[in-house]
Chains A and B, each alone.
Chain A
Amino acid sequence: MKAIWTVLQEVYGLFVEDGSLAVILLLWIGVLAFVIPRWPGGAAWHAPLLFLGVIVVLLENIWRSAHHKR
């Protein structure tokens, strides 16, 4: 049982180290899944929106992590 729990923890750790980063990214993808089919601005904006959201989340997390380590 302990071995299975260890393996599950390791597998979870493959994808999530900072829980807030993972949650905000998932939220952003969820928002896009809802918004993209209804977006009035045309399909050309979808790709930049997706990428920009991800990099903003990453940079905010880096800034926050650096401040926490001070």
Chain B
Amino acid sequence: METWSHIGTSVLASFLASLVEFVEALTIVLAVGTVRGWRPALIGTFAGTGLLVVLVLLFGPTLQRIPITTLQLVVGILLLLFGIRWLRKAILRAAHIIGFHDEAAIFARETAELRQEAGGQAARLDWVAVATTFKAVVLEGLEVVFIVIAVGATGKMLLPAGLGAAAAGIVVILLGLLLHRPLVRVPENTLKFAVGVLLSSFGVFWIGEGLHVSWPGEDLSLFGLAAGFLLVSLLGVSLARRAVAPISNAAPMAEQGERP
């Protein structure tokens, strides 16, 4: 029961978190492909994917040499920082304090910028386009790699976590091939809310393991932590709304300069 609950939460956390990252990468790849052509867009995408595979093969095995409690503590801290960053942002968005992440707007901005830079590159390989997709795939992909390693490495759940991420990748690629436009209808803030809750729960759990905290119910306490984080986050939304209540009719701040 405990193993299945751990496998289930690992797959779910990895799938949902990777889904968000793949959607963000897809938006950039589609923008480049539409404006500058599919050849440089796909070259950048494959080169970025290749670099990620090399990084995983290079650094993956070294994880096994780190003592387990150190690994649990370090991964737990990184997972908590990563998850709580998403959770904080999702709470502030749900309270309309910061603006929502808009894939359609990002797609429009990217295509406009790329059109401005276009010109006279038809015969040669378009390096701007290659670099744009390469950067998007590497940066978003690094997040996916981190999520898979962080969720999977400490509890010997790398395979379920990897399968969750792979399933998310397949879903997004298939939808991208079908639609040929960014996935604007993905409820991104809800996803980030859920992922923030799950990753923060994993983070606190692994920090506890690293500090030799005994969890009531062992792995099952992950469900309790997730429920606790969910309740606290809903409380956070209401708290944030109350804090800005006197100016509740004002427009939420734009998200310029902030990471998605």
Contact = CB atoms under 8 A, between A and B. Distances in A.
B172 to A, nearest CB: 19
A39 to B, nearest CB: 10
Contacts of A13: 259
**Interface-central residue, A43, A47, A61, by most chain B CB under 10 Å:** A47
Contacts of A58: 84, 87-88, 232, 236
A53 to B, nearest CB: 10
B42 interface: no
B166 interface: no
Contacts of B84: 21, 25, 54, 58
A65 B94 CA distance: 13
Majority secondary structure, A binding face: helix
A57 B67 CA distance: 29
B81 A69 contact: no
Contact of B77 (A18, A26, A61, A62): A26
A4 interface: no
Contacts of B157: none
User: Interface residue tally of chain B, by bracket?
Assistant: 35 or more
A5 B165 CA distance: 27
A18 B88 contact: yes
A47 B236 contact: no
A65 B88 contact: yes
Interface string A28-49: 0100110010000001101100
B236 A15 contact: no
Contact of A22 (B81, B97, B239): B81
Given A17-B88, A47-B208, A65-B240, A70 B80 contact: no
Contact of B239 (A17, A18, A33, A62): A62
Interface stretch (B5-13, B32-40, B184-192, B221-229): B221-229
Contact of B244 (A11, A51, A69): A69
B88 A51 contact: no
Interface stretch (B104-112, B175-183, B209-217): B209-217
8 contacts: A15-B82, A15-B85, A18-B88, A44-B214, A46-B214, A47-B214, A62-B92, A65-B97
Ranked nearest first, the 5 interchain pairs of A and B with the lowest CB-CB distance are A66-B243, A66-B240, A15-B81, A46-B213, A62-B236
